[in-house]
Amino acid sequence: MTPNLSSKIDGLFVGKVADRWPGKPQSAIQKDPATGVQGIGVHGLVRDAQADLEVHGGADKAIHHYAFDHYTAWQAEGLIPDGAQPAAFGENISTTGLTEDTLCIGDILNLGSATVQISQGRQPCWKLGLHTGQDKMPYLFQKTGRTGWYYRVLDEGAVAVGDGITLVERPQPNWTVRKVTQARLTRRITPEDAVQLADMPELAASWRQAFAKMAAGQVKEDTSKRLGGPGAGS
C-alpha cells in the first residue's frame, strides 16, 4: 500500500551557467528564486541550466529536491549562516516534510501538473564546497546522508510555488533514498544488496553500473577528482 505522503512546494529555483570562481570551470550551482508558473520538460525546469552535462543534469538528474528540514541542523553545526534561505545547496525544489528517510528510490510523485520519479541521491562534488564556503561540505553531505535527491521526468507539465507534491506510487518500498545513497557513496554494501540495486530498473543507469561493479567485488573508487576538483588525484 502506498503511504499517504505529500507536501507543498515552498520554493523553486533556477540558475544560469556563469564564471563563479577564478581559474575554475563554469557552474550553474547558484540558483535564484523562480516566480510564476515554471515549465517542466524532460531535462527539468525549463529555465534551469547545468554547466557540465557529463556529471550534472540529464534525464536521470533533471531536478534536484532538497529538504528544508535539514537547514536547522546545518545551521546548528555552524556550516551555513543562521537564517540561510533555500537554494543554499543549489537545489531546484524546497519543501518540508519530505526527506531521504521518508522517500524511496523509484517513488513516483505528482509535481504540480508533471509526474516525476526519484532516480538517485545526490553525489556532492567540489563545487558544493566552493558554493557554500565550506571545503568539507561535500564530505559532510556524504557522511550525514543529507544529500537531497534527483527526479527524472515521466510526464512533462508545470509547477509553481504553493503547488502540491504527492506520492502516487512506491515500487521499491525497502530502498529509501538514504539507504541507497549511503551505499553508493560509502560503498559499504553486501554483494547480495549490490546485485539487487544493479538490477533495479528505477535506479539511475550510472548508479546501477556502479552497484554492478560492487557486486563483482570492485569496491574501491577514486573520488578525488569529484570531491577535490580538477587536477585532484593527478
pLDDT at 234: 41
Task: Return the amino acid letter for 66.
Answer: Y
Average pLDDT, the chain: 93
* Other CB atoms within 10 Å distance of the CB of residue 78: 9
Task: Return the amino acid letter for 70.
Answer: H
Is 70 exceeded by the pLDDT of residue 2?
yes
Under the phi-then-psi rule, with left for phi > 0, alpha for psi from -120 to 50, and beta for the rest, what region is 125? beta
Q: By three-state DSSP, how is residue 188 classified?
A: coil
Is 90 exceeded by the pLDDT of residue 192?
yes
Q: Grid coordinates representing 59?
A: 534525464
pLDDT at 9: 98
* Other CB atoms within 10 Å distance of the CB of residue 18: 12
Q: By three-state DSSP, how is residue 80 classified?
A: coil
Catalogue all structural domains in the chain, each as residue range(s) with its CATH number: 6-170 (2.40.33.20)
Distance CA 129, CA 228 (A): 9
Put simply, whether the predicted model's pTM sits higher than 0.85 gets the answer: yes
pLDDT in tens, 145-180: 999 999 999 999 999 999 999 999 999 999 999 999
